[in-house]
Amino acid sequence: MPEFTRERILHLLEALNNELRLMDVRGEIHLAGGAVMCLAFDARPSTKDVDAAFLPSVKVKDAALRVSEKEGVPDSWLNDAVKGYFSDHGTFTSFLDLSHLKAFVADAKYMLAMKCLAMRIGEGYKDEADIRYLLRNLGLESYPEALKILEKYYDLDKYPPKALAALQELLPNP
């Protein structure tokens, strides 16, 4: 599977905007996951796909499929599997405002909560490195401080025990 760099993602979003323009549709996407780590935080050079929720979902999905055909990328380059992790309390900031596409990125606190909720450990997964980056970015210095952020988005019992244990190892508990 190809890796998508910041530049490639921006190019694909421009292409998506063009497809939406041809359809006379205005779309909106809320980005999360590795794409946000590349685009908004410059925390890593690439990601395997672009995770987002989008509206209008069917039309944006159709436009994304046309982009995949024209650009030679997998149909799954833009996918909405991440929407299962979205919180009713999620917080996003505006990232891109094109003629027919508005893109928003999850902010650092929300990304930390989502990364902890989805935490995968093992070769090929970047969740732990992303969490370390977000902890530094947010200036978090204690485990209770991190828990306060996490519980703003999801009940603490929703987080996998391995994620909370990893946070405890990464941050002191005064």
pLDDT given at position 123: 59
Q: Which residues are CB-contacts of 49 (< 8 A; sequence separation ≥ 6)?
A: 1, 4, 33, 34, 35, 74, 76, 77, 78, 79
pLDDT given at position 103: 98
Q: Could you tell me if 38 and 45 are in contact, meaning their C-beta atoms sit under 8 angstroms apart?
A: yes
**How many C-alpha atoms does 5 have within 13 Å on its Cβ side?**
3
Report the C-alpha gap between 71 and 63 in whole angstroms: 12
pLDDT given at position 126: 80
- pLDDT averaged over 10-residue windows placed end to end, the chain, 174 residues: 90 98 98 96 94 96 98 95 92 98 98 91 74 95 95 96 91 75
pLDDT given at position 84: 86
- Give, in order, the Cα–Cα distances in Å from 150 to each of 15, 117, 153: 35, 9, 6
**Look-up of token digits 């530094």:** 136
pLDDT given at position 119: 84
Note if the bond before 56 is cis, omega within 30 degrees.
yes
Report the C-alpha gap between 130 and 46 in whole angstroms: 12
**Whole-prediction pTM:** 0.92
